[in-house]
Amino acid sequence: MNNQENDTVSREKRFLFDLQGFLILRNVLSEAECTEYLEVLQRLEPQTYEDKWMKSAGTGRPTRETSRQHQIRLNGLPRLDSVFDQLIAQPKILSYLHEFVGQPQLINTWSISKSCGAQTGGWHRGVPTTDYSYRNDVLRSRMLNVVYFLTNNGPDDGCIVALPGGHKSNIDLEWNKYSGLQLPGAVPITGKAGDVLLLSETVLHDGLPKTTETVRSNLYYNYVHAHYNVMTREPGNCHHFYFPPEIRQRFNPKQLELTSWMELARRKH
């Protein structure tokens, strides 16, 4: 990491990220960029995907997931369209990736579009609280989700709900006894189209029910520290994590750097 990348994250932002376990950045994407991604999603979401790889893997999440009512999730975005390459090393996000993860590597990408009637999914965290640390003035979240809001995420739009400070919580409850805002301390993470949520995956989170008529679409780019073993996390889903050389050949140097673990993966996915 060079000093410039480090310097761009203010002390106030570091304070807030450390306090809450997440940070919201406003107006990262322009209206035109949001429209461009939304148009691609609208083309991709109704399609069917063969997912031949699932037959050999014997398990895994399909490219298009519709198991939750009124919700479409697409996995492995750059495999689906090259428009998604540009968010791998989004210039306004880079300094945060280095500041909060250390040596960031992209592990997973997906989209979620929700329509009226979508319900909560269940409280969860991607990694345990021990994967967040603050030592010698260095913050480290071993997994960081960068969530791009392509449409408004109002409180009734099925926005994300999170437990501020949940990355440092010591006492577990039976999380799934609580739906959404019933969990003590939970807050809705609201924002406008173009805003970005940087969420430590050590923070408990979920999505709220959607009661409004418009579709809510977000993109999720999830990063881990380079020491994290990407391939053992969910062996059945390496297909979505890993991009083959014919995809990576489109990438610029920074996108290549943030996906360099893929050069070391021995299996074809």
Distance separating alpha carbons of residues 240 and 236, to the nearest angstrom: 9
Kindly state the tokens that stand for 172: 């577990």
Q: Least CB distance from residue 158 to ligand AKG, whole Å?
A: 6
Q: Which is nearer to ligand AKG, 124 or 254 (CB)?
A: 124
Closest residue to ligand AKG, based on beta-carbon distance: 207
Q: Are 118 and 158 within 8 A, CB to CB?
A: yes
Q: Strands 143-149 and 216-225, how do they pair?
A: antiparallel
Closest CA to 101 of 43, 36, 17: 17
Closest separation in Å from C-beta 200 to ligand AKG = 12
Question: Residue 248 Cβ, how far from ligand AKG at the closest point, in Å?
Answer: 24
Q: 162-192 burial string, b = 16+ CB within 10 Å, else e? A: bbbebbebeeeeeeeebbbbebeebebbbbe
Output the smallest distance, CB 125 to ligand AKG, in A.
Answer: 9
Q: How far is the CB of 220 from ligand AKG (least distance, A)?
A: 6
Q: Which is nearer to ligand AKG, 89 or 112 (CB)?
A: 112
Distance CA 80, CA 87 (A): 14
Query: Kindly report the CA angle at 63 between 60 and 64, in degrees rounded to 5?
Result: 115
Closest approach of ligand AKG to the CB of residue 206, in Å: 6
Closer Cβ to ligand AKG, 100 or 220, answer by number: 220
Rounded Cα gap, residues 58 and 30, in angstroms: 41
Instruction: Please report how close the Cβ of residue 207 comes to ligand AKG at its closest, in angstroms.
Output: 2
Q: Give the span between the Cα atoms of 66 and 75, in whole angstroms.
A: 11
- Minimum CB separation of residue 245 from ligand AKG in Å reads 28
* Nearer to ligand AKG among residue 152 and residue 260 (C-beta): 152
C-beta closer to ligand AKG: residue 9 or 101: 101
Distance (Å, rounded) from C-alpha 251 to C-alpha 260? 11
Question: Given the rule CB under 6 A, which residues bind ligand AKG?
Answer: 112, 121, 158, 160, 205-207, 218, 220
Nearer to ligand AKG, 9 or 41 (CB): 41
Between CA 80 and CA 44 the distance in angstroms is: 8
Q: Which is nearer to ligand AKG, 85 or 206 (CB)?
A: 206
Which of 175, 154, 156 lies closest to 118 in space, CA to CA? 156
Going from the C-alpha of 80 to that of each of 36, 75, 107, 115, the distances in angstroms are 14, 9, 16, 22
Nearer Cβ to ligand AKG (166/207): 207
Tokens linked to 174: 């039976």
